[in-house]
Amino acid sequence: MKRTAAALAAVGALALGMGAAQAADPLKVGFVYVGPVGDFGYSYQHDQGRQAVEKKFGDKVKTTFVESVPEGADAERVIRQLAQTGNDLIFTTSFGFMNPTIKVAKQFPNVKFEHATGYKRADNVATYAARFYEGRYVAGVIAGKMTKSNVIGYVGSFPIPEVVRGINAFMRGAWSVNPDVKVKIVWVNSWYDPGKEGDAAKALIDQGADIMVQHTDSPAPLQVAENRGIKGFGQASDMIKFAPKAQMTAIVDHWDEYYIDRVQAVMDGTWKAEDTWHGLKEGMVHMAPFTNMPDDVAALAKETEDKIASGDIKIFAGPIYDQAGELRVKEGEVAPDEMLLGMDWYIKGIDAELPK
């Protein structure tokens, strides 16, 4: 009887010990990046968010990241590998990771996934994005004031709604202060290719552009602007150290709080597959300091930023016509998010042809 009691006690102690060990297991969180963390742009900012998670939770989490993952079959392989190796929460941070994320999520229903900039969700797949276009409107106001040639050069990655929406927002900002501005656009069909990005910037400057804008992830276009003596804007992170004389501001993606909140939700058991789309108001988009411009332009930029955050400026308020002259948003109305998320058309006044 004593031996039985002792054995039961030993088993109970072992079970308690195992339970304590299991309770102490860290939450495993994976991140998939389309570019290198050293791009000092989009992927760099996501990795800053990952590091913020580690700083906040310490040994309660274990994070892993995979960088420079091409969109397509490689992405599916990497996402599946992260799920197979025990990650509880996986962030896939590029638009082209959308279908691979959905496919892998079906195979791992107990793993939670978060996809950035996409629109497909499932019971275990949430979506999130920043309203980058709000910062692009501010940049457009600055460009409209600062250009002398009235020609803006724009280096685009892919003609997807996120990028097209940004071009439209930028031009609405520019036209709000200078109706004579024109934009020339070069598509490089890559998120991160410093060589192509730099060559595109040089070609645009040769065509008369004296302001450089980009929706690509390396500092190359801004560095070309610096070397050629024109002004420009940083992308996704503050790139001032790469172009101290050229950068007027940067549209900074700030993911720290979002990543911390979502990790906390998993820990608390409150995580839900929802959509989050935040901007200047919520702090997911920041503007880098306004510099290399007159004080009055900086003041106007700050005023514009504040009015967007407060809702006093509605970037896509009607009337809005597309290139073909079709009325897309009536006067007195504002384009709904559904329209913005699927925006695959240029607004009236942009002369460039949109690739299909």
Q: Count CB atoms within 10 A of the CB of residue 36.
A: 16
Task: Average the pLDDT over 69-92 and give the result.
Answer: 97
Task: Average the pLDDT over 34-42 and give the result.
Answer: 93
pLDDT at position 7 over 70: no
CA 37/CA 231 separation, integer angstroms: 26
- Give the domains, in start order, of the chain with CATH numbers: 21-131+255-278 (3.40.50.2300), 132-252+288-341 (3.40.50.2300)
pLDDT of residue 23: 55
pLDDT band at 2; cut points 50, 70, 90: very low
∠ CA 106-107-112, nearest 5°, is 65
pLDDT at position 278 over 80: yes
pLDDT of residue 3: 41
pLDDT band at 206; cut points 50, 70, 90: very high
pLDDT band at 20; cut points 50, 70, 90: very low
CA 258/CA 126 separation, integer angstroms: 12
Q: Count CB atoms within 10 A of the CB of residue 224.
A: 26
HSE-up (13 A, CA, CB side) for residue 236? 25
Predicted model pTM: 0.91
pLDDT at position 63 over 80: yes
pLDDT of residue 218: 96
pLDDT of residue 72: 86
pLDDT of residue 207: 97
Residue percentage of the chain with pLDDT more than 70: 93
pLDDT of residue 187: 98
* Average pLDDT, rounded, for the chain: 94
pLDDT at position 9 over 50: no
Beta-sheet pairing, 320-321 with 327-329? antiparallel
pLDDT of residue 356: 83
pLDDT at position 8 over 50: no
pLDDT at position 125 over 90: yes
> Would you say 29 and 23 are in contact if contact means Cβ atoms under 8 Å apart?
no
CA 97/CA 35 separation, integer angstroms: 12
CA 213/CA 233 separation, integer angstroms: 6
Q: Which two tokens stand for residue 275?
A: 């959509």
Model confidence over 129-188: pLDDT tens digits?
A: 999 999 999 999 999 999 999 999 999 999 999 999 999 999 999 999 999 999 999 999
Task: Average the pLDDT over 186-200 and give the result.
Answer: 97
Burial, 99: exposed, middle or buried (Cβ in 10 Å; 0-12, 13-18, 19+)?
middle
Between 23-32, 100-109, 280-289, the lowest mean confidence (pLDDT) is in: 23-32
